[in-house]
Amino acid sequence: MSIYYYQLTSPEIKKAAEKNSLILLPVGQVEEHGPHLPLECDCIIARETSRAVAENIVSELPVLVLPTVWTAYSVRQVARWPGLISFKEPETMIQMIYDILASLIEDGFKKIVIVNAHGNNPAILELASRRIGSDYNVFPAVTYVLGMSKTIGPEVRKSDMGGCGGHAGEEETALLLHLTPDLVHMERATNEDIVRYQTRFFPGDIYSDIPDRVSGIFWSTWGVAASKTGVYGDPTAAIAETGNALFKEIIKNYREFIREYYDHTESSA
Ligand SMILES: [Zn+2]
């Protein structure tokens, strides 16, 4: 049977829900990623991660991948560079995700993992997931693909600190060099938007080595450091081998998390 939700028939979906199939919902965005990466960068990362995770785990548990949610909310600063397709209001995105999750749950699915690759999404997705939990007593997991690479990123990165700023920097560029090399234009990549603002409250790099870092603070990168090219980081340091190592680690961490999430049965209700 296909791992793709939309390739199944309605009776097959009914069976999949009865078998307690895990659903993966990839979420990306269409927005500028500097002069060297395609607009669909986040969609590629979310989609390919979901596919690889599903292929990796399907022999152990029933799993289905949804089509990628390709548009999302982005702050207006991103619109300085053409290509952005954004909801004007984050509430629209919250409602859309809520409705997708509610539809799945009303068909009987209980284990849903959102595989997000867009930096503006976490708070929105968490809110949708919290509302779903509150209304249905089903608790979708919200995950961030780049977060799953943090256990190996510091080891395999090539750029100086500030080179992995989380948006079109070394990390995303390396991932795309591994996943879709034909869509990467390395000759157009520059290091002029390496993130120079780095403190223990705003590390300025997703693999920061600043000691005594404090977590839980949100301060938008777009309001902390200016970007000349729409990039945060140093894409010139990216190579496919780094992307391969990051991707392998991402899949390994997802696999372990999904086992934990899927097997967990305790609930407050
Ligand atoms: Zn991105």
Longest Cα–Cα distance of the chain, Å, equals: 56
Ligand 1 centre distance from Cα of residue 210 (Å)? 23
Per-residue pLDDT of 82-116, as tens digits, reads 999 999 999 999 999 999 999 999 999 999 999 99
| Model confidence at 268: pLDDT above 90 | no
- Answer for the pair 140, 129: CB distance below 8 angstroms, yes or no: yes
Contacts of 198 (CB under 8 A, 6+ apart): 161, 162, 204, 205, 208, 210
**If 0-12 CB within 10 Å is exposed, 13-18 middle and 19+ buried, where does residue 29 land?**
buried
Domains of the chain: residue spans and CATH: 5-263 (3.40.50.10310)
Ligand 1 centre distance from Cα of residue 268 (Å)? 36
Ligand 1 centre distance from Cα of residue 166 (Å)? 7
| Model confidence at 136: pLDDT above 90 | yes
The strand pairing partners of 116, in sequence order, are 27, 144
- Answer for the pair 173, 247: CB distance below 8 angstroms, yes or no: no
Give pLDDT, residue 266: 78
- Count of CB atoms within 10 A of residue 87's CB? 16
Radius of gyration of the chain from its Cα atoms, rounded to whole angstroms: 18
CA distances from 223 to 8, 101, 153, 207 (A): 44, 32, 25, 20
Per-residue pLDDT of 204-240, as tens digits, reads 999 999 999 998 999 999 999 999 999 999 999 999 9
**If 0-12 CB within 10 Å is exposed, 13-18 middle and 19+ buried, where does residue 88 land?**
exposed
Length, in residues, of the chain:
269
Ligand 1 centre distance from Cα of residue 86 (Å)? 14
Give pLDDT, residue 183: 98
CA distances from 201 to 56, 59, 214, 218, 226 (A): 36, 42, 6, 9, 18
Ligand 1 centre distance from Cα of residue 16 (Å)? 32
Name the DSSP letter for residue 2.
-
196/54 Cα distance (integer angstroms): 38
Ligand 1 centre distance from Cα of residue 150 (Å)? 16
| Model confidence at 269: pLDDT above 80 | no
Position 267 confidence tier, pLDDT thresholds 50, 70, 90: confident
Position 4 confidence tier, pLDDT thresholds 50, 70, 90: very high
Does the reported pTM lie above 0.95? Answer: yes
| Model confidence at 188: pLDDT above 70 | yes
180/126 Cα distance (integer angstroms): 29
Give pLDDT, residue 209: 93
Closest to 227 (Cα-Cα) out of 21, 85, 81, 116? 81
Give pLDDT, residue 93: 98
Ligand 1 centre distance from Cα of residue 160 (Å)? 19
* Mean pLDDT computed over 134-149: 98
| Model confidence at 144: pLDDT above 70 | yes
Q: Mean pLDDT score of the chain, rounded to an integer?
A: 97
| Model confidence at 58: pLDDT above 90 | yes
CA distances from 10 to 107, 162, 220 (A): 10, 48, 42
Give pLDDT, residue 143: 98
| Model confidence at 132: pLDDT above 80 | yes
Per-residue pLDDT of 29-50, as tens digits, reads 999 999 999 999 999 999 999 9
The runs of H, that is alpha helices, within the chain are: 10-18, 41-57, 90-106, 122-136, 153-156, 170-179, 221-224, 240-263
Ligand 1 centre distance from Cα of residue 36 (Å)? 12
Ligand 1 centre distance from Cα of residue 200 (Å)? 23
Ligand 1 centre distance from Cα of residue 143 (Å)? 15
